[in-house]
Amino acid sequence: METNGVLGCVNISKETRDEIAEDFSCQEREPIHIKGKGIMISYLVTGPKHTLGGSPPLPETAISSASGDSPALGFPLVDALSLTRGDLVPGIVSLMVAAGALDALKIDTCLLERFARHVDAQHDDRVPYHNMCHVYNVVQMLCVFLGWPEVRAKLEPLEVAAVLIAGLCHDLGHVGLTNDFLKEIQAPAAKRFPTSTNERLHFQNLETLLSASETDILSELSESDRARLLDTVAECIGATDMARHGTLLQKWRRWAEMGVDWRDRSNRNFLASLLMKCADIGNEARGPQAAQFWVARLYAEFRNQIDIERALGMKESPSAKLVEADLYQSQLYWCEKVTIPLFKLLAALAPCTGIDSLLDNLDETRKFWKLQASRRKVF
């Protein structure tokens, strides 16, 4: 099986193309000679034609707000679902401006918006979960965190900008396929980055954007400040790899127990990566309604990949077991063992009424998953 040098694209036979053509875009390639089989027409799977698994399409009109304004937060808690598709980029730019990114980077709004639109262009709306709605939510949650004086005071302005850039670019170019899948098909990116493949590719895509003068939002920084900011961004994006979650959580806990000297830049980078991690998996902190919607999108993305795996006769990835398991029970486990401990760790480092509000939301979500699990409803 070949990948044609393109991340997430797999060469398949005409027979396989016929099986999956209804759901996946397939591009015919030049005839190729295969030893023992002769001349063969192959097709390149370039992506899903539409969202699968019953996941709703990206919103074109306002749908709902996951949570009302909280006076305890410097920024209100807002879900991307309360916005139109066209509002996402302007909304992200407005958030970053309000959080102080322009002053730290010494740039104007036009350059930041141009950069954000290039980021938008590298996200595919057909990918159910890892799209610009998710990006908006991550940046928005980061702004909620950075709106708390207890957090903001611990970071320097350039580090605040780094966290926001990481939020905007942490899934840059995501095609809705997991690291395990990319490794299994021997994708070029997996060969180049054997570990944290997606995360390291996203950071590389960011570096490519920054290499062009028209999208270089770091152009006004000194060489040392640029390097320092990118180091923080890389650490933040790397922290979003769930394969590293257990190891990172142990490190964060030991770090918090030792007492933190915030004058140490490595400690501030640790905090930045923790904020990024919480924002990336923080939909349950928006309450049960938002949690249900985003889990549906995530499972739809898993199903897309499972369909490709089955069509190609591949070994199914761990995502298949997750989708086939009881959704409510697995989400209850996720909430209790992953999300809540992470947010409690943040609360220990920066105790404030803002984090208490999010922990209350998490508890409501946990109760919802527990209730549904007890009823054994089918998702």
Between CA 333 and CA 315 the distance in angstroms is 26
What CATH number does the domain containing 88 carry?
A: 1.10.1300.10
Q: Which of 121, 73, 91, 112 is nearest to 285 (CA)?
A: 73
63 falls within a domain: no
| Same domain flag for 27 and 127 | no
| Same domain flag for 332 and 185 | yes
Q: Which of 62, 84, 68, 55 is nearest to 286 (CA)?
A: 68
Give the pLDDT score at 58. 34
| Same domain flag for 113 and 173 | yes
Alpha carbon 249 to chain centroid, angstroms: 18
| Same domain flag for 45 and 146 | no
322 falls within a domain: no
262 falls within a domain: yes
Which stretches of 122-156 are DSSP H helices? 132-146, 149-152
- Binding-site positions for Zn(2+) read 134, 170-171, 280
316 falls within a domain: no
116 falls within a domain: yes
| Same domain flag for 93 and 175 | yes
183 falls within a domain: yes
Query: 50 an active-site residue?
Result: no
| Same domain flag for 183 and 286 | yes
> What contacts 370, CB < 8 A, 6 or more positions away?
332
| Same domain flag for 26 and 88 | no
CB 99 within 8 Å of CB 164: yes
- Binding-site positions for AMP read 130-134, 171, 280, 331
Between CA 74 and CA 279 the distance in angstroms is 16
Give the pLDDT score at 18. 58
List average pLDDT for each run of 10 residues in the chain, which is 379 residues long. Answer: 40 51 54 47 46 35 32 71 94 96 97 98 96 98 96 96 99 95 92 96 98 98 98 98 91 85 94 97 96 94 91 81 80 96 93 92 97 73
Q: What pTM was estimated for this model as a whole?
A: 0.81
> What residues make up the domain containing 7?
1-49
| Same domain flag for 368 and 284 | yes
- Binding-site positions read 130-134, 170-171, 280, 331
CB 350 within 8 Å of CB 73: no
Q: Which listed residue (123, 130, 174, 202) is catalytic?
A: 130
Give the pLDDT score at 70. 37
Q: Number of folded domains in the chain? A: 2
